[in-house]
Chains A and B, each alone.
Chain A
């Protein structure tokens, strides 16, 4: 079945460490997104990519980096510059031009700083 796979499901980061969250989709979708979810704050856009080798900053990009070398993959790196990285991270995708069904989301990665 087509969908989005995020891994790992749980991730622990030490202070000053960079970590990378994986997002893979087999839906042949063009656009991919990373959202951060904090309790009581809804979802906020970190980065998005509408095409391979191109990506743009969202509303809260500081301390994060991404790459889009393949259509299927959009990994997110949480760098040591992100001062408060503990959150739930969701990856999403949508075909070029969109559909009537909104985004398709992955099941998320919960990142905790230890």
Chain B
């Protein structure tokens, strides 16, 4: 069975602080995709990144960076110099690659509150 765990229910930081959101996953598949989504107060989920299981390179996009470690089954997300607009719920998700049906398994989400 597949499972995604986001142990941090809520994180509060002050603007300009760095913050890391943890994601640990479980799967028996050798190939899979990992995702991060942002859910602002408006409710819509916004895609942030997809990572293939065979690509363990870390990625940086502006203030966002992702650390994928297959050895520890983790795919952590770091926001550098956080801003108030980063306040949202962030979801980590996992998807198998060896089926025609592309079901996403979501973690329970981490609510990030960035105060001025």
Contact = CB atoms under 8 A, between A and B. Distances in A.
B45 A100 contact: no
Interface string A26-49: 000001000000001111110010
Interface in A38-80: 40-45, 48, 50, 56, 58
B37 A102 contact: yes
Interface residues of B, number: 22
Contacts of B50: 100-102
Given A40-B9, A101-B47, A105-B44, A94 B102 contact: yes
B45 A31 contact: no
A73 B37 CA distance: 24
B44 A108 contact: yes
Given A107-B42, A107-B44, A108-B43, A102 B104 contact: yes
A25 B4 CA distance: 28
A103 B109 contact: no
B108 A41 contact: yes
Interface string B96-107: 000011111011
B32 interface: no
Interface string A5-34: 000000000000000000000000001000
Contacts of A42: 4, 91, 106-109
Interface residues of A, number: 26
B35 interface: yes
Contacts of B109: 42
A94 B93 CA distance: 15
B47 A103 contact: yes
Given A43-B91, A102-B37, A48 B45 contact: no
- Which of B4, B44, B107 has the largest count of A CB atoms less than 10 A from its CB? B44
Interface of B: 4, 9, 35, 37, 42-47, 50, 91, 93, 100-104, 106-109
15 contacts: A40-B108, A43-B106, A44-B106, A45-B103, A50-B100, A50-B101, A94-B102, A98-B102, A100-B50, A101-B47, A102-B50, A102-B93, A102-B104, A105-B37, A105-B44
